[in-house]
Amino acid sequence: MRLLHWTCYTFGALVWIAVSGCDVYDARLIEDSVAGAPPRPPAHTSSPADAETLVFALKDVYIEQSAENAARIGIDLDSAVTTGQDDASCQPRKVDGEVVGQAVVDGNKGIDNSLGASLLPTVGAVLPCLQDNLALTQGRGIGTIILWIRGWNGQRDDASVSAMLTTAIDGTTEDPSVVGYGRNSDVDLVYIQGAQTESAPDPGWDAEDWWYLDPSDFDEDETGEPSLDLPNAMQTDAYVTFGRVVLPLPDGTAFKLIAGDGSIPSDGAMNVVVSGGFMMGDLTEDLEELGHGLFTGRFSIEKLGEATPDIGVCSINATVIESLFGQYADIQSSPEMDGTGAECDAFSLGVTFTGVAGRIAGLAPASRPKLEPCAQGSAAPVDRCCPSQWLDGRTREDTCDTPEMMSKAAAFDRLPNTVQVPVPAPDFL
């Protein structure tokens, strides 16, 4: 078993917990009264010869936030602690010359998370099973987000590692030598012997799973086929500091959240495309988990308008986003425009997760088909077939009343006990 060289990190973690009050930010910046990303370690901690690899599959993606807990999820993205219009990093929005926006007050130590405070509660009310469906789909290995780290030195500090965010087409506990993609599907794993009709088992989330990645995230080699050696979105400026992996996010980074396999009309996906931000998480000593995971960035009004139909919020189009929710925009989509007096045109966001170690099996033959819950021009019936609704007073019989819904309910039952639904709130809340 590989182990992280953990000298001094345990003490550092205790300081982080004690000083920060368990908010998701770096306490070493507390003297500056901001909740920032931790600094990069010295350059001498890294070498071109570093060759360790880490793979983490993401679960427990927590999006059902409120104004209260959103204030503790994220970091200070704009180097400003906003308490009102006078100290905001951008100006409130105007429509036809009239001010419609307002200064969105930051959370603890300048944390920016307007999306979590103002919009995610609304989405949860419209799509009551969204978070459960995300947990189910990713728990089954369908569209699971994968963080792949290369060129690590195996130490608690490394000034330069390569990292990428990608998506798994499928995942399994079974050895790649006996499973694959058969004659009937390019996206669902089966046992390759015999009739190729027996499905491969789902992931066990025990740090031993195998993941098959989306070929669209990799460029073609000289044979014309996508290659694992040619990722098209590899970041070379990530780092590890005090055992925390930090991935600066460039413009256009996508956090792809798939909520369904297409068997139900309301199945959709949330593609969160940010213009700058960070992804980070803490390595455990046994390297089997990435704890206190955080994805944070700037989500423009334009990109949010593009994303809402894909998740199944068919009535909230780009125009509604602009007129109704634009008032909650709290940040500029371009970091270089912070503090210039420009109008706010984006939402800050913070989403937490947990990463579980895994292994890369290879590339799937094809990407999964795009889910289109609004393809008929109107919203599909509201999906209430999920554990959150059953705990809220509804019954399985009432909410899962079609064969497809009953099959979905059974899929919740089959999840391993390492995947909890409803998703538990982060332990710092």
Instruction: Report if residue 24 sits inside a domain.
Output: yes
pLDDT of residue 298: 96
Instruction: Report if residue 429 sits inside a domain.
Output: no
Q: Which spans in 190-330 are helix H?
A: 301-311, 318-320
Instruction: Report if residue 388 sits inside a domain.
Output: no
- Two tokens, residue 401: 């009343």
pTM of the model: 0.90
Q: Which spans in 4-118 are helix H?
A: 9-20, 67-70, 114
CB atoms within 10 A of CB 175: 10
pLDDT at 118 over 80: yes
> How many H-runs (helices) and E-runs (strands) does the chain carry?
10, 16
- Two tokens, residue 53: 């690899």
Contacts (Cβ under 8 Å, ≥6 apart) of 102: 85, 92, 327, 328
Instruction: Report if residue 1 sits inside a domain.
Output: no
Question: Three-class SS of residue 103?
Answer: coil
Q: At what angle do helices 130-139 and 403-414 cross, to 10 degrees?
A: 60
Residue-wise pLDDT tens digits, 244-255: 999 999 899 999
Average pLDDT over residues 60-64: 93
pLDDT at 23 over 60: no
pLDDT of residue 16: 35
**Nearest alpha carbon to residue 13 among 248, 281, 278, 207:** 281
Domain count, the chain: 1
Instruction: Report if residue 97 sits inside a domain.
Output: yes
Beta bridge partners of 296: 278, 350
Instruction: Report if residue 391 sits inside a domain.
Output: no
Mean pLDDT over the full length of the chain? 87
Contacts (Cβ under 8 Å, ≥6 apart) of 187: 169, 170, 181, 364, 365, 366, 367, 368, 369
Distance of alpha carbon 119 from alpha carbon 124, whole angstroms: 9
pLDDT at 140 over 90: yes
pLDDT interval class at 319 (50, 70, 90) = low
**Nearest alpha carbon to residue 189 among 167, 170, 216:** 170
**Cβ proximity of 62 and 352 under 8 Å:** yes
pLDDT interval class at 177 (50, 70, 90) = very high
Instruction: Report if residue 427 sits inside a domain.
Output: no
Distance of alpha carbon 289 from alpha carbon 265, whole angstroms: 34
- Two tokens, residue 78: 């704009």
pLDDT of residue 174: 98
Residue 6's identity, in one-letter code, is: W
**Cβ proximity of 233 and 118 under 8 Å:** no
Of residues 307 and 420, the one with the higher pLDDT is 420
Average pLDDT over residues 375-393: 87
Instruction: Report if residue 402 sits inside a domain.
Output: no
Of residues 160 and 309, the one with the higher pLDDT is 160
Residue 147's identity, in one-letter code, is: L
Beta bridge partners of 247: 279
Q: Which spans in 44-96 are helix H?
A: 67-70
pLDDT of residue 95: 73
pLDDT interval class at 29 (50, 70, 90) = very low
User: Which domain covers residue 220, as residue numbers?
Assistant: 9-382
